[in-house]
Structure 1
């Protein structure tokens, strides 16, 4: 039963995730956190961040993580196959049709109409992540500075998002390592006194 639920959930994500990774993330969230409660919001957020930092399509990484969480290696395989299957079938079945009709006004209009929906879905998910990050942070000024620097790097300096994410990972790792060492030193000094 659980394998069938995994297959259906990820197959739906694959079908309705038109446009790739960014459009699929809200669908992953709805199916896996809200509907089936396979992972918590915190786990989803953390693994989304790691998945964004790793190379490759985000859909397969999230599917593998959640499938593995639910039913181990077989769950990861079922989830990955289910999320990829709709795309493979549609690509094989519709590639020639789309190529022949790509300049038709109706087809062009449909493609243009879906883009605002994708933008709104992504904006809502971004807002929810920002709220969670803000509430969960002990250092509000650090979150504000990180957000501002990221926006400057992405919007004004035209840095690749992968570079920004990589820098954020290195800086956060260095800061966390420094903070843990500082706490250990303080604890050892208190223990000595």
Structure 2
């Protein structure tokens, strides 16, 4: 497990080529995601799919908020929609978001996972089934255990697993739960996670 990242470090192990990035967050997630994504340059070509726990009862404004601050297309994922490279997708509140094997999205209203719908675990596990070893999973701050099983599933398929350093998370329960199940490839600060995504895109595209 590496606890820092620098593309210029000659001792850094070779990174795998990935076709997509999935990200999960809960409490404290908006600011954490902005800190990770702001460094991404215009023309970033990997798709990024995010589950951020939100209340069900009101419309999400995440696409508008992030779209106004980032250098890439941002939208709420739609049912049956093909995944397009270079787009940042957010799961809609009230629906579980899955990735199908034909790399389209599907919605469901199955039972909540850790009181949450959408669930990080459902996104991560379905994306691992679809992308296998060409997937990077990133688990950030959060106040429950959602995502721990999913990040372990990504690793089982040979994908890249990344967890925010819980000592730096606003709510450390999600990172701690992940570490209790699995030793990730990287345990990083938000700044280093952003740098890692830049390098993953550089070598994959």
Q: Does 1 or 2 have the higher relative contact order (CA < 8 Å, sep 6+)? A: 2
- Over alpha carbons, which structure has the higher Rg? 1
TM-score by length of 2: 0.23
TM-score, length-scaled by structure 1? 0.24
**The structure with more strand, counted as a fraction of residues:** 2
